[in-house]
Amino acid sequence: VKPIKQVATVAGRADMTFVDALMTKLPSLNVLELGRIFARLQNGVVHMYGAVMIVGVVAVLAFFWAPHSHIEATFEGNNVDLTTPLGLGYEYRWDANSDGEFETTWAEAPGTSFAYKKGDVRGVAVFLMNARSGVERRVHVGEDWVPLPIEAVAPVATLRREDVGFEVRLDGEDLVFRRPDPPTLLAGSKELRLPLGKGGRLGPARVIARPVVEATVEVRNAFGNQRRATKEITLPFWIEEPPSHAVLTPRSQEVVR
């Protein structure tokens, strides 16, 4: 009998707490308070209603008066598909590499496809990735030395002393690594240089350098108003410049028996 009474007591308290209080009384109190608030707004003054309507109409017109856009990028092979949300009565033109010259004319289509060249690269994004788990983190690298946070992608317990303490900076088109502390091979003036577009590995982490480009879209709405949106895009592939001269390959000789 006692276990049944205990179960009944727990069920009764749960019913009083969750069903009666949270599911019944709390919603009714919310409705009551909201009713009091809206009752004060409905004061019967006609010119106040008119003012609220005018403010709403002005807000809607202001939203549609200025065009809105942002850029989204997807990748297919070495091509980048650039799109922006479709707007009512909008026209678009693209400066895909943000060089000041538009590659497309005004059109209703909100997207374009572009193949970037090496001269379009605006910068480099450096990423650290755990070689096993795939955990990835971007490291902001410039011309000054900054710490390379390998601990951000790999558990500290798995790191050896020679895996940590590196610094990195950009030198032209190369990534330069060093370890300031003396007991290592990369100490003092000794540096490790990694050409951009190449991957390297420091302990359990892979270092990946990816090119950064910039795209611009200009949007024009039915009122003739224009607005530009620009986005920095990190490419998941490296841009190889095609050869400027013909490459001759030796013709394979047939083997005659």
Tens of pLDDT along 196-252?
A: 667 778 778 888 888 889 999 999 999 999 999 999 999 888 776 554 444 333 333
pTM flag (> 0.75) = no
Q: What is the pLDDT of residues 154-207, one digit of tens each?
A: 888 888 887 788 888 888 778 888 877 655 454 445 778 887 667 778 778 888
- Measured distance CA(153)–CA(155) in Å, rounded: 7
Helix (H, G, I), strand (E, B) or coil at 101: coil
**Could you give phi then psi for residue 112, rounded to 5 degrees?**
-155, 170
The domain spans of the chain are 2-63, 70-241
% of the chain exceeding 70 in pLDDT = 83
* Both tokens assigned to 179: 């370890």
Where is 125: in which H helix or E strand? strand 123-130
**Could you give phi then psi for residue 228, rounded to 5 degrees?**
-110, 150
DSSP calls for 139-195: E---SS-EE--GGGTS-GGG--GGGS--EEEEETTEEEEE--STTSTT-TT--EEEE
